[in-house]
Structure 1
Amino acid sequence: MSLSTREFQRVLDAHADELAGARIQRVRAPDDHTLLLTLHRAPTTREWLVSLRSPLCRVHPTTRRLASTPQPSAFVMLLRKHLTGARVIDVERPTDDRWIRLHTRRGDERASLVIALLGRDATVLLLDAQGHVLGDHAGRRATGALHVPPSPPSTRAAPDHRDRFPVPDAALAEAIDAHYARRAEDIERTTAIDRRRHALRRERRRAERLRDALLRDLERVDEAPALRHRADLLQTARGRVRRGDRSVTVQDWAQPDSPEVILPLDPALDLEAQIARAYHQARRLERGADTVLRRLEEAEGRVGTFAGLEEQLARVEDSGDWGALPDLLGRIDEALPGRARGRARGARRAAPAPRLPYIRYRASDGTPILVGRGGRDNDTLTVQIAHGHDLWLHAEDWAGAHVVIRRPRGATVRPEVVEEAALLAAHHSRGRSDTVVGVRVTERRHVRKARDLPPGRVLVAGGRTVEVSPSGDPRLPALLARREDAAG
């Protein structure tokens, strides 16, 4: 189970001096459900683990070396943007619940990080200075919504005061880390066993269905001699059968006394066609006999293999002989066909590349210029992706895209780059056919998104106006050709 209220409070009490005043040096993610925050407060630097994986929700310092995921999520990137280098100036937490709010400051920027381990609602929130949501790990709260602290525990459930770690506070984090490492290993092992068991059962049943179908085909193979004998008898009726006849009487010379037998006919076919069909059916069954027997042997072998592996897996699980499990799982994976092997290992199809909310262009000197794709994408580009020192542009008096010029802090953007970005802002607006379009240019820090504004609308303070001619500037075609993500 996750950390109880008592255990959660013990962790925070034991390390309270390390939180207030600490600087956030690094934010990373080992997986989709875990965050690692590196906090430094002289003389101590600790990495704090935040797990939102049920039933392993917890927060505590850790000394384990966990590798970061190669592709951090958008939420992790958002945390890095707003928290890296920030200092924790205040710690807000109730004494009878499992959430904490770290208020941070970096220069003039203020933000706060909320870590809430509230059962199924466990999440991490990033809030701005006014308490509006900038990002939600769980994705349940809309960007810009005002954060409301969780209701008191008495309105949800009684606080859980269990304490499973009878160790001194100095050893508490290490004990919690070791406990949940074992729990994670148990869950991973159980998941691996369940996936293999289900895959083996599914493939065994598939092989059993194939075996039963082949047995039915094998029964039809016995019909081949009768079909060939019928064709031989029909040959003796040549000259006596016309198209449309429904039967013919012939002597069955293969039986004692050569009795007369009545053979049914297909009135839609002439006699030669019926003779050829009977011989063809006989030959097909005779040729298929070897194939059916071979496939039947293979199917029965697969049934036996999968059933045997199921029994071995059950014995290992019952005996708890986990040392033999890796080898057995490897043999199961080798026995499973490719499609089932991937499911048994928990493999997922490669996710498509995420859709970016902007189009990327390159200015003539290589400077990146980002152009929003639409209303909500404009908000995402301006509020979540652009830095405060980036330049922000928008066509005046026209609906259009937000445009951002990336620039390092303190760097100067060349005037021709600003003009090229202004051309893109005018081109991606409803004023693209005008002779002259004014484009507002300001730093991103002077652009604000109010809660009641529709998607794409922002409040802009200060800045200057650059006039461009999107319908006649010869630089525009070359600039559009330097689009880097034309596929979207």
Structure 2
Amino acid sequence: MPLDGIVTYALVEELSTELVTGRMTKIHQPTEHELIITVRKNGQNKNLLLSVHPNYARVHLTNEKYTNPKEPPLFCMVLRKYLGSGFIKSVEQISMERIIKIRVTSKDEIGDSLDYDLYIELMGKHSHILLVDPSRNVILESMKHIGFSQNRYRALLPGQTYIFPPDQGKINPLKLDPAEFVKKLDFNTGKIDRQILSILMGVSPLVSQSIANLAYLGDEKKYIEVFERFQTQLMENDFYPHIGRGQKEDFHVLKNVQLEEPTTSYETVSEMLDTFYQGKAERDRVKGLTYDIMRLLKNERSKNERKIKKQQQTLKKAEDAEQYQKYGELLTAHMHLVKPGDSQVTVIDYYDPDQKEISIELNPNKSASENAQQLFKQYQKLKKSKEVVTQEIEKAETEIDYLDRLIQQLEDAREEDLEDIRAELEDEGYLKRKSTKNKKKKKKVIHFDRFQATDGTEIYVGRNNKQNEYLTNRQADKEDIWLHTKDIPGSHVIIKSSSPSEETIVEAATIAAFYSKSKHSSSVPVDYTKVKHVRKPNGAKPGFVTYDNQQTVYVTPVESEIEKLRMKEL
């Protein structure tokens, strides 16, 4: 769900405590939708994420790492010019709307102190970040430029007067008397939750539904009581950040808001939001970047499936090869029965214990001898094709297995993994290699995902074929334990120990299951053996290995438990 005004209210209270009087030391714009501002306060650095992503617009402190572009975008450079080294004077919410104003005091070229306002409007696909000069209420720069041709109400362009989004005619719940609130409800009309939604500012359908449910079938006094409780929680900052992880994932900061079980509570609103949105925006971004590759791989997979289907039909015909040999021999023995122009001949089947008669189809334009030779040729052709087709089917099945592994890796890929995957596809001939003239190839440091078992043993995971091969063939010792999901596309996992405990093996197997196509399944089979028993066959596709002396363990991956074991990247 998107942030509503209530969550924004709780967030602003938290950010005011954490950031006010802090100094902006770094400003980065890793993507077209996101800003990361590093604020230093009381000797600590805190990263503030501002996102206007169309699906994941949000503001909160974050621990996630972002990759910054080589050249900062224009908006980022403008913010650095005006806000760099500035001090945060205040963090405010505009009424109970999803609009946050961060006032920053910084110095100009001659050392005079000036105030600037950074507005963040969290409104789904209409979200914006704008830098405004409060002395003139003029926009200095905006992350997205919106002219009057796109929005007749206001223009979000440098030099334009900043105007708030249109008023929805709702009332701030903190300024509404409970008795007045109840008077605005029409109990005869019904659909109380929708009425509450249309009356209260900053309230989402989740909150209005919860208020209606808590007062369900109650009288006016009951509704006043429920609304007063709701107001008190806001006024006293009595917040309970929690995430519901049922069939539909949701979050909120009010305890009475009903979320699907199981639920997890958090110390801060930022921690809740950082956890909820973790990886979601990146996966969405990566999905866009890999759309062309994913389509190519799926098309190649479909092509191989059609190829197998066609070859299986040929193989079925090849199964009848000996029948043609038999017909040829019987026809040779009964040539005297064939007359010129015959389209078939009936002969005695000497191979049948009962000596039954069978009919053999003939080409009327050929002699008996030529028909027999044709049958023998067909026999030789089918016999040879059976061997070739069997090999081609095996080759296509191997190709599908390889493509399945690549598709699984792309589905879980991070932005930094895409370069490796593209390079591999170029090496394998699926993509046209880009020109690298006059470009020096930089030696890339491989970063594995690292985990630490409960007993302290380190566990390494490769995220793509290049990492898998490097991890298994070069990083791991021969006596280390290697794990992989059984007959399921997934990552190579290494336990850095020759004799790990049973608990560590289960934890590593759970990680292997999570980094596979069966990450959402239960009782996933995972094989494990020593690295010395793992081999890559000559000419095999990247990431493909064979192994023996394995044992199998069945596990059910749970993301929250796996994340507890995660270590920082190398």
Higher relative contact order (CA 8 A, sep 6+): 1
Sort the TM-score into its range (normalised by shorter chain). Answer: 0.3 to 0.5
Larger Rg belongs to: 1
**TM-score, length-normalised on structure 2?**
0.39
